Structure 1
């Protein structure tokens, strides 16, 4: 018998990329409770890998995320790179923590604040 092991629509049927998107969305929703006014209009996105051309402020290593300030009528944008983050995570809990840290760090850059101001638990890994 061939076919999907889990029926469509069940949590187990979701792809790894969809589960990653959910992690990012959870963090954004948490941050929105405190920073809604400052993040209004900001776009959040997930891309598989970063482009091959690093931003001027990036030096060495593969970026886990990137922020793009609002300019020329375009909203600010925070991008998380799925594959580099997944590669660095040890397990599912570590992945969730790392996603949170990456999003918080990029939002902090976008808002010109420290990550600890954005999330007082920044960097606390269980």
Structure 2
């Protein structure tokens, strides 16, 4: 069967990047609702892979790590704001087939925010770590 491409906005047209970006946005909005004053100075961003991927593979950084010793994200400071950067390819690889991508994204973001606030991840979100 032949036909034109799918119109914008239909579920079949969504790319894996769109799904990932939406998961980051949903997670960010959830955490901002839970902790509005504490997260007013926080922004969220997505990056494909860490800039220093080869260096990270060669050393143990002690950061939030996916399998293989690569961090799933990092905290940056830009213009006086904290930016939670999530590495798309690393989180996707960590999630694999066993963990829904939205849950893997949310847990990565919760761990990064918890690290920044010096809180336990469960204090940031009580549903942390519960892949359903």
TM-score, normalised with respect to structure 1? 0.83
Q: Are the structure 2 counterparts of residues 86 and 56 from structure 1 closer, same or farther at C-alpha, using a change threshold of 3 Å? A: closer
Matched, 1:61 2:69: yes
Unaligned runs of 5+ in 1: none
CA-atom RMSD, angstroms?
Answer: 2.4
For the structure 1 residues 107 and 36, does the alpha-carbon distance in structure 2 shift closer, same or farther, using more than 3 Å as the test? same
Partner of 1:125: 131
Aligned length: 123
Distance 1:115 1:79 in 2: 17
User: TM-score under structure 2 normalisation?
Assistant: 0.80
- 2: CA distance, partners of 1:91 / 1:57: 26
Partner secondary structure for residue 38 of structure 1: coil
Q: Is the aligned partner of 1:30 residue 2:30?
A: yes
Residue aligned with 1:77, SS: strand
SS of 1:45's partner is strand
Where structure 2 has 5 or more consecutive residues not aligned to the other structure, the ranges are none
